[in-house]
Amino acid sequence: MAQVTASLLCGAVVALLSSAVLAVVEDLDQTFKDTRMNDIWLVDFYAPWCGYCKKLEPVWADVGAELKASGSPVRVGKMDATAYSGMSSEFGVRGYPTIKLLKGELAYNYKGPRTKDDIVEFTNRVSGPAVRPLPSKQMFEHMLKRHDVLFVYVGGESPLKEKYIDVATELIVYTYFFSASEEALPESMALPEIPSVAVFKDGSYFTYDEYEDGSLSSWINKERFQGYLQIDGFTLYELGETGKLVAIAVIDDKDPSDECIRLKSLIQMVAKDYRQHFNRDFQFGHMDGSDYINSLIMGEVKVPSVIILNTSNEQYFLPDGPTETLEDLVSFITGVLNGSVQAYGGDGIVQRVKRIAFDARSTIMSVFRSSPVLGCFLFGLPLGVISLMCYGICTADSDPDAGDMELMKREGFTDEEEEEEDDEEQRRTAQLEGPENDEEEEEGEDEEEEEEKAPEQKKTD
């Protein structure tokens, strides 16, 4: 009896915990549009049939529970974008799932990995102020240890600071932005001028130069990654927005061979030692496996190898020979930069057609993998209707009189046979009418013979 009671209590506790977790994620309806301005919202726009949306459901519940436990002011919700298509269109939802943080009139898209920690970190960053102050050296050094890439405005009020705040409001979805006075800088750091914007990464710091680096927004967008990093599908997508070429060592991270380790080391050395030469145009890193790259180039890249991707026009570059030394790799990268290395792929008409066919095939396969019944309904039903239409067109009679002729042939009649039967009927009728008709016919025949005589015979007569 005691065991039964204990099991019932455990079941009740689990049910209460489950309901508590579900309560932190609110189901949103049409009233959300009118009430959302009062709070900061993190919303998952989903479709009930979407396989990726279903995978996100438990993660989304964990995100809601984490934010509520930490005392975050952000409210977490989810909306069926197919049921409220008009509202989701107003928020710019074009795919499922779409994660957005809504703060007043601003809407920020989340484009990172769909994990609890990444989504919570994004939420905490974007929901706070665009620029956070660093009031002391201790706080400055603490943030340097905590962040791999740190953007800091140093100085007082200035037009550069106003521009920095505007850029931070736009790009806070990617990284943190801080401001500090000159006194808060560590003693080992000396900026060339004040005010200034600096990025701290890769064990060093680099300052923004308007004349060499162009717009502040473009410079921050290019510098928001470490010089060398591990690249996955999400990171490669974000790197495409920087406008840089991406030099990748394609290796097997789970079982690295000596060749994998050697190529990875070469890429790291180029990223560090040749920053001044290549940093403006290249991003360096490594990727585990070649499956994702194979889908991009619609080909096959061996592991290990080196490849350079131009995500803006879908071109890629491969070395002509083996990459044995640092000089070989530097020569290859330089050749890509000056245009002497052959480019493959691209966004021409042929490649676009191939890409459409490849993407269509991938989409169909993903639909069938996630929901076979839905895939059969979406693609099988139209194909069946089209097949029936084609069958009906191919089997239709091309000549409408052909059916009547075929029917007559089956009954044993043709046009000639009908005429012969009519003549025979007339002969029978003539025979039945008697000899008077025969005499009249003979007289008629005599008259016809006289009319047919030649004129000379008539004169002779």
Separation between Cα atoms, residue 42 and residue 72, nearest integer Å: 11
Closest CA to 213 of 167, 176, 175, 145: 167
Could you say which of 53, 260, 376, 390 is catalytic?
A: 53
Which tokens belong to 265?
A: 């080391």
Separation between Cα atoms, residue 64 and residue 76, nearest integer Å: 6
Distance of CA 422 to the CA centre of its chain: 78
Helical (H) or strand (E) element with 283: strand 282-288
The pLDDT of residue 392 is 78
Q: Crossing angle of helices 159-171/216-223, nearest 10°?
A: 50
Closest CA to 308 of 227, 249, 237, 240: 249
The phi and psi torsions of 287 (rounded to 5 degrees) equal -130, 140
Q: What is the CATH number of domain 228-347?
A: 3.40.30.10
Q: With contact defined as beta carbons under 8 Å apart, do 199 and 171 qualify?
A: no
Domain ranges for the chain:
17-126, 129-223, 228-347, 350-393
The pLDDT of residue 380 is 67
Separation between Cα atoms, residue 348 and residue 169, nearest integer Å: 36
Tell me, yes or no, if 10 is annotated catalytic: no
The pLDDT of residue 375 is 60
Separation between Cα atoms, residue 99 and residue 95, nearest integer Å: 10
The pLDDT of residue 6 is 45
pTM of the model: 0.67
Which tokens belong to 183?
A: 């006194």
Report how far apart, in Å, the C-alpha atoms of 447 and of each of 358, 372, 443, 451, 455 are.
91, 93, 6, 6, 15
Q: What is the DSSP string of 114-181?
A: -SHHHHHHHHHHHHS-SSEEE-SHHHHHHHHHH-SSEEEEESSS-HHHHHHHHHHHHHTTT--EEEE-
The pLDDT of residue 357 is 66
Could you say which of 10, 50, 390, 394 is catalytic?
A: 50
Question: pLDDT digit of tens for each residue in the chain (461 aa)?
Answer: 444 444 444 444 444 444 444 458 898 888 887 788 888 999 999 999 999 999 999 999 999 999 999 999 999 999 999 988 888 888 888 889 999 999 888 899 998 888 999 999 999 999 999 999 999 999 999 999 999 999 999 999 999 999 999 999 999 999 999 999 989 888 878 888 899 999 999 989 999 998 989 899 999 999 999 999 999 888 888 888 888 999 999 999 888 899 999 999 999 999 999 998 999 999 999 999 988 888 888 888 889 999 999 988 888 999 988 899 999 999 999 999 999 999 998 766 766 676 666 666 656 666 566 667 666 766 666 777 777 777 778 776 555 555 555 545 555 545 555 555 566 666 666 555 554 444 444 444 444 445 544 554 444 44
Separation between Cα atoms, residue 242 and residue 357, nearest integer Å: 28
Answer whether the bond into residue 159 is a cis peptide, omega within 30°. Answer: no
Separation between Cα atoms, residue 227 and residue 247, nearest integer Å: 11
The pLDDT of residue 2 is 45
Q: With contact defined as beta carbons under 8 Å apart, do 153 and 168 qualify?
A: no
Q: With contact defined as beta carbons under 8 Å apart, do 30 and 87 qualify?
A: yes
Shared fold status for 129-223 and 228-347: yes
Instruction: Specify the amino acid at residue 410.
Output: R
The pLDDT of residue 15 is 41
Closest CA to 174 of 203, 145, 149: 149
Which tokens belong to 235?
A: 């990171």
Separation between Cα atoms, residue 231 and residue 3, nearest integer Å: 52
Q: With contact defined as beta carbons under 8 Å apart, do 314 and 347 qualify?
A: yes
Q: What is the CATH number of domain 129-223?
A: 3.40.30.10
Residue 143: is it exposed, middle or buried by C-beta count within 10 angstroms (0-12/13-18/19+)?
A: middle
Fold for 17-126, please state it. Answer: Glutaredoxin (3.40.30)
Tell me, yes or no, if 50 is annotated catalytic: yes
